[in-house]
Amino acid sequence: MKDMTEGYTTPDGRRIGGVLMEMKNITLRFGGVKAITDISFDIREGEIRAIIGPNGAGKSSMLNVISGFYVPQEGEVWFKGYRRGPMRPYQVARLGIARTFQNIALFDGMSVLDNIMTGRLTLMKSGLLSQAIWWGSAEREETAHRDKVEKIIDFLEIQNIRKTPVGRLPYGLKKRVELARALAAEPRLLLLDEPMAGMNVEEKEDMSRFILDVNDEFGTTIVLIEHDMGVVMDLSDRVVVMDYGKKIGDGTPDEVRSNPDVIAAYLGVAHD
């Protein structure tokens, strides 16, 4: 088993643990095009880790490698001290990895409650027959899972829409429901793909607060992609910066802000 590195304490006194996931020399190709070129970085237990970069930098491709949706042609992905091979989505979920999507992927005809309940599917143990007739252990299990979901609904302050079909909700609330569904899986690692995209200022403030609360109260490790640099710098413990599929920066928000390669990539200015 691979040794975990020591953790560290953030300036605000939060304790960050050892390495939870490590990306080693990741290269991903689509045909003859390299989406990611020889990138390495780690994700530590309990931190908020951002991946940023201009459009086309390869951020979503990297998130898909982390989630197991893409398998890189070169490099290794390590999770909890073990090298992770190709996996099916349900296997990734059972590892404790959940995600939200840039394009909302909810069931519009189902209620908020039922959408969030789908996040519990990999945690359910009753057989199909007992679930179908809702009897015995299946009934008890369903009740326990609903209790967990109700707590998430309270946590994200969406009690008043719990029975509303998702298709009737405004965009910002749909994003919150998608976050709730991901939390329902009780992830150890939560991947957020542009959680603020399309939101107004008030909605961004709410989502930022919920992300911080998830990290603080649940101890969930979070990796996020986000274009709003103000949000990224306020939320993140460490930031990876990509440009044209390569890593050009990695460090604390302050370190990334002052990195000349990052400045050049974002502002389009040359430097020596």
- At 81-126, the pLDDT tens digits run 999 988 888 888 888 999 988 777 788 889 999 999 988 877 666 4
Residues whose CB falls within 8 Å of the CB of residue 31, separated by 6 or more in sequence, listed in order: none
Structural domains of the chain, count: 2
pLDDT at residue 229, rounded to an integer: 83
Q: Which domain holds residue 264?
A: 1-96+187-272
Lowest mean pLDDT among 16-25, 129-138, 248-257: 129-138
End-of-domain residue from the set 125, 149, 180 = 180
More confident residue, 198 or 36: 36
pLDDT at residue 107, rounded to an integer: 85
Regarding whether 81 and 196 lie in a shared domain, the answer is yes
Regarding whether 128 and 41 lie in a shared domain, the answer is no
End-of-domain residue from the set 123, 151, 180 = 180
Strand partners, 74: 27
Q: What CATH number corresponds to the domain at position 4? A: 3.40.50.300
The answer to whether the Cα torsion of 235, 96, 62, 226 is positive or negative is: negative
Which region holds residue 96: left if phi is over 0, alpha if psi is between -120 and 50, else beta?
left
Q: Is 104 within a domain?
A: no
Regarding whether 201 and 91 lie in a shared domain, the answer is yes
> What are the phi and psi torsion angles at 252 (to 5°)?
-70, 165
CA distances from 37 to 16, 26, 27, 241, 252 (A): 28, 7, 5, 13, 22
pLDDT at residue 128, rounded to an integer: 44
pLDDT at residue 127, rounded to an integer: 46
Residue 13 has pLDDT above 90, yes or no: no
CB 220 within 8 A of CB 210: no
Q: Is 106 within a domain?
A: no
pLDDT at residue 271, rounded to an integer: 46
Q: Is 67 within a domain?
A: yes
Q: Is 237 within a domain?
A: yes
Regarding whether 193 and 267 lie in a shared domain, the answer is yes
Tokens 């931190």 sit on residue = 47
More confident residue, 129 or 209: 209
b or e along 153-185 (b: 16 or more beta carbons within 10 Å of the residue's beta carbon)?
Answer: beebebeebbeeebeebeebbbbbbbbbbbbbb
End-of-domain residue from the set 180, 210, 225 = 180
Strand partners, 39: 26
Which region holds residue 31: left if phi is over 0, alpha if psi is between -120 and 50, else beta?
left
Regarding whether 192 and 269 lie in a shared domain, the answer is yes
pTM, two decimals, is 0.86
Single-letter amino acid, residue 210:
F
Report how far residue 183's alpha carbon sits from residue 253's, in angstroms, rounded to the nearest whole number: 26
Q: Tell me the angle at which helices 137-155 and 171-184 cross, rounded to the nearest 10 degrees.
A: 130
What mean pLDDT is reported for the chain? 87
Confidence of residue 1 (pLDDT cuts 50, 70, 90): very low
pLDDT at residue 136, rounded to an integer: 54
Residue 264 has pLDDT above 80, yes or no: yes
Report how far residue 48's alpha carbon sits from residue 16's, in angstroms, rounded to the nearest whole number: 10
Regarding whether 172 and 83 lie in a shared domain, the answer is no
pLDDT at residue 87, rounded to an integer: 87
pLDDT at residue 85, rounded to an integer: 87
Confidence of residue 228 (pLDDT cuts 50, 70, 90): confident
Single-letter amino acid, residue 39:
I
Strand partners, 223: 49, 191
